[in-house]
Amino acid sequence: MLERAIWTICYILLAPLLGGFLSGLERKVGARMQGRKGPSVWQSFRDVKKLFSKKSQQVNGGQMFLVISYFFFVVVTGTLIFAGYDLLLAFFTLTTASMFLVAAGSCTHSPYSLIGANREMIQMMAYEPMVLLTAVGFYLACGDFDVQSIATAGGWLPIVKLPGVFIGFMFILTIKLRKSPFDISTSHHAHQEIVKGITTEMSGPMLGIFEISEWYEKVFLTAIVGLFFVNGSPLSYVVAVVVMFLAFFIEILIDNSCARLSWEQMLKSSWFATIVFGGINIVVLQILK
């Protein structure tokens, strides 16, 4: 219990620092890919600090509550993962967080925010099947949903048994991080036709809370990528960290080299990846078990 408590405290305190740094690094690397100098890697922290210094403006009185609820469940999701609790429960908690975000976008009268909320629901339909298959895959490969048990299982690395699940998860990770070509509900770039989509009516501290939530989410989603490469040995953790940074770089590369797809294309391609990579991997693993 003490170890879990330490991991919980470390995640709550350090995840926004790491997530903010990764967001700044992402903007810097993305700018370099486009031939620009780009902002400082600390610019994300400055932007959020400025947001919290502004006066709070709410279109709907309940919107702040919904955004705070989204923040709370995102933090709980990461806590469950880093403290080594049930992976399936963590994924269900993440879904709950997403529903609060959809509600926050839907409670305004802005057509842009409402369109963004509808598209966020479509994104959930696209990535949720693969998220559930990821949890099932870890259970079949390691015999447990418990993250701590998975990370210390010994034997083969989970990636050996779950190559298809890993590919499928990497595919939907682009959707979950709202990267191009799947940034249909809201975008980190200025090219989206509905401006900022689901976050259109968020400003000041409310938008700052949303940004910090994204930092927390970025950290634990990247950690799940690393979970495919740990088996309890010290060397496996080194490999996991390297793979996490490679995955992070690949996401930036995809984001800066792909044109945005329509929601129909996103839905079809994600379900195709889920069935072909995740589904077949699960079936083969179950047969060989």
CB atoms within 10 A of CB 269: 16
Q: Where are the alpha helices (DSSP H) in 107-155?
A: 111-142, 147-151
Whether 281 shows a pLDDT value over 70: the answer reads yes
Please tell me the predicted confidence (pLDDT) of residue 114: 87
Give 92: exposed, middle or buried? Use CB within 10 Å, 0-12, 13-18, 19+: middle
Whether 201 shows a pLDDT value over 70: the answer reads yes
Query: What is the DSSP-derived secondary structure letter of residue 181?
Result: T
Query: How far, in Å, CA of 250 to CA of 54, rounded?
Result: 35
pTM: 0.92
Query: 184 versus 191: which is more confidently predicted?
Result: 184
Q: What is the pLDDT of residues 266-277, one digit of tens each?
A: 999 999 999 999
Q: To the nearest whole number, what is the mean pLDDT of the chain? A: 89
Lowest-pLDDT choice from 52-61, 167-176, 227-236, 240-249: 52-61
Query: How far, in Å, CA of 194 to CA of 180, rounded?
Result: 14
Of 112, 102, 107, nearest in space to 193 by CA: 112
- Indicate the pLDDT class of residue 49, thresholds 50, 70 and 90: very high
Q: What is the pLDDT of residues 73-111, one digit of tens each?
A: 999 999 999 998 999 999 999 999 999 999 998 888 888
Q: Where are the alpha helices (DSSP H) in the chain?
A: 2-33, 43-52, 63-82, 87-106, 111-142, 147-151, 158-161, 163-176, 204-227, 234-255, 263-273, 280-288
E strand or H helix that includes residue 40: none
Residue 146, SS3 per DSSP: strand
Place of tokens 């966020």: 120
Please tell me the predicted confidence (pLDDT) of residue 142: 87
What does the pLDDT average to over 148-164?
89
Q: Kindly compute the dihedral angle of the four CA atoms of residues 240, 137, 97, 248, in this order, to the nearest 10 degrees.
A: 30
Whether 60 shows a pLDDT value over 80: the answer reads no
Whether 13 shows a pLDDT value over 80: the answer reads yes
Residue 86, SS3 per DSSP: strand
What does the pLDDT average to over 205-219?
94
Residue 247, SS3 per DSSP: helix
What does each C-alpha distance from 215 to 153, 177, 285 come to in angstroms? 29, 10, 34
Whether 21 shows a pLDDT value over 70: the answer reads yes
Lowest-pLDDT choice from 56-65, 176-185, 228-237: 56-65
